[in-house]
Amino acid sequence: MDQVIRAALERSKRIYLTTYGRSGKSGTVPVWFLWTGDALFFTTRRASLKARRIGATGRASVHVGRADGPRFEAMAEFTDDPAVRSLILATYPRRYRLGWLAIGRGIKRRTQSGESVIVKLTRVE
């Protein structure tokens, strides 16, 4: 990963994720994320359009920090890794303090119940 993207990931609290359906139709949304140095992770409702697109194609584009921020292509896949789930649920409350107060309980409940999935994004060179 190049230095510009690394620096943006270190200071940013959002990515702008574009997912693609089988027809090529795309949609972009801002999402909270966890960056481990090797991959990015986020949660989303299993029934969401972005989850359905990820399930269909696995193709994603990521802009870091802003809709016009540094960009990279990624492979998106679902993961059930309990260590990642625990890390997200431990990190998000500190990283997204006020936002977590507003919506954190729902994210936690949905992630623990399986209503939400964890998505892993890996940069495609």
23-32 confidence digits (pLDDT tens): 999 999 999 9
Closest listed residue to residue 24, CA positions, set 50, 49, 59, 63: 59
User: What residues have CB less than 8 Å from 30, skipping those under 6 apart?
Assistant: 14, 15, 16, 17, 67
Number of structural domains, the chain? 1
Range of the domain at 73: 3-123
Q: What is the pTM of this model?
A: 0.94
For residue 1, pLDDT over 80 is answered with no
Half-sphere exposure of 93 (CA within 13 A, CB side): 9
What confidence score (pLDDT) does residue 100 get?
93
Confidence grade of residue 125 (pLDDT, cut at 50, 70, 90): confident
Q: What is the CATH number of the domain that holds 23?
A: 2.30.110.10
Confidence grade of residue 65 (pLDDT, cut at 50, 70, 90): very high
Average pLDDT, the chain: 95
